[in-house]
Structure 1
């Protein structure tokens, strides 16, 4: 991490080698001829739980958290082979106003997200839908103060498949099951946009949520080749020695999670979220992503990048 006294309004984070090729080609193109893809709205969820007793003994560490991570399949068009959190792009039906809703209203989420109410509704719904599709965790319950306890049976797998093949919407699933989306279980933590040099770009909100009691994250998705509950420090160490590849936002989020001691307090704590839009730069013989974030990894308002 950068020294807390460092006055720069940005950090230069390593660009993964797998994306260096087209990034160099983009930088070498005359600015007037550069192609910039429009970013797709998306949402991702950091599922969290207190670190297990075994992990604490092995690491000789104090209280901390584990986060559920996926290693994306090598065949994926975006971020192949990289460690990421469950998430994905917004589906048009995520904006359905009939989604059964509990917790902060779409209007309140719009204030937090800095968007209109319709966009806020679809981002929050997309976050919950994606985490259910990709790892079988459902942030919903029969009422505003309950969470469904077990979604591991065959009928729930069919529900996940119906979402994936778009034969049903998330709102239809909840309504038919008599459930409400528990938006109070999610906390907004960051807003990152894929750099302009990438051919596929996403405008992504990062949410965090405590793992619901009684449920199990399984990572059964064709988009990932491996999944696990991991200590943030462990994933960062694997990145340093070349065992894992992380995009800058994943690295920054893991650095923040590494410092969490009280999960409930961290989830409840207010965070000023400012958009982070990295920019490719070259120095010291390699490419970097220049990210307008402070020493704690939070977006810097009105930062000048590059």
Structure 2
């Protein structure tokens, strides 16, 4: 597992106002790869958020959401020592089932009817541990490859501390379907394709998603991306504002795997509606 470099006790201040930041909400995201035979770049599963959502309204993002207490409880029950890490992995799998109807990182009967039943049960409030017990599923948490971790520098309505994971989805017959609650559309596309659609104004992507897509666009397969992720220990990415001759830029650190590390502030798509 990659090491996460973070001082949880260090006070965090808003990058603009300098005021203390609220305690971030733990969240996790799963970047689901689908390698395409004879195609140079793998496809990634993206969901487009409802315009009514407080965070990333109308934006195309990777499946994910907040880590709930039952996720931490299940990680503890499974005997994992790092409850925060493995609770986040459980949440990433759970959220992907809820949002896309795709079950990855799960060993067991994954026929379409069974996965749909699990999704409906999750939407009705059944916890993931009960679903796994009922369906005789085992979560393959070590298949999730830690990729990055982001926490914004602004005191928005909510501040999320989000862990990102990579995973390969080999069942091309499994059909992803939108949940029609938090999201209104989903699609598969290579990282370069999604970036191109954003440049053309066809989809909206926020700053972290854009930087992560640029990083993922460097690779021709899931294995290449996973090897790269393992070579770059996960650090907390919390962008900073840098004043330059052409204006203020939102920046992330160099040397952590990202080919592009800054963007003019006036072009940045942030997560919350103003």
CA separation in 2, counterparts of 1:258 and 1:195? 25
Which residue of 3, 23, 40 corresponds with 2:25?
A: 40
Are 1:279 and 2:244 an aligned pair?
no
CA RMSD of aligned residues (A): 2.9
2:98 maps to what in 1?
A: 133
Corresponding position: 1:290 with 2:251 = yes
Please tell me whether Structure 1 or Structure 2 has the larger radius of gyration of its CA atoms: 1
Match in the other structure for 1:195: 153
The CA deviation at 1:225 is 1.7
SS of the aligned residue for 2:87 comes to helix
Q: Which runs of 5+ in 2 are unaligned?
A: 1-13, 262-274
| 2:58 equivalent to 1:81 | yes
Query: Is the Cα–Cα contact under 8 Å of residues 84 and 246 in structure 1 kept in the other structure?
Result: yes
Q: For residues 255 and 221 of structure 1, what CA distance do their matches in structure 2 show?
A: 28
The 3-state SS of whatever aligns with 1:96 is: helix
Distance in 2 (CA, whole Å) between partners of 1:225 and 1:52 is: 29
How far the C-alpha of 1:191 sits from its partner, in A, is: 0.6
Measure the CA separation in 2 of the matches of 1:275 and 1:293.
Answer: 13
d(CA) in 2 for partners of 1:164 and 1:236?
31
- Equivalent residue number for residue 265 of structure 2: none
CA contact (8 A) 2:76 2:83 kept: no
> Which residue in the other structure is 2:86 paired with?
121
- Mapped to 2, the partners of 1:240 and 1:286 lie a distance apart of 21
Count of residue pairs brought into register by the alignment: 244
Change (3 A) 1:70 1:220: same
Which segments of 5 or more consecutive residues in structure 1 lack a partner in the other structure?
A: 1-24, 57-62, 108-116, 143-147, 301-306
> C-alpha displacement at 1:100, in angstroms?
8.1
Change (3 A) 1:50 1:237: same
Contact conserved, 2:216 with 2:225, CA < 8 A, in 1? no
For the residues of structure 2 that align with 1:240 and 1:80, how far apart are their CA atoms?
18
Partner Cα separation in structure 2 for residue 89 and residue 249 of structure 1: 16
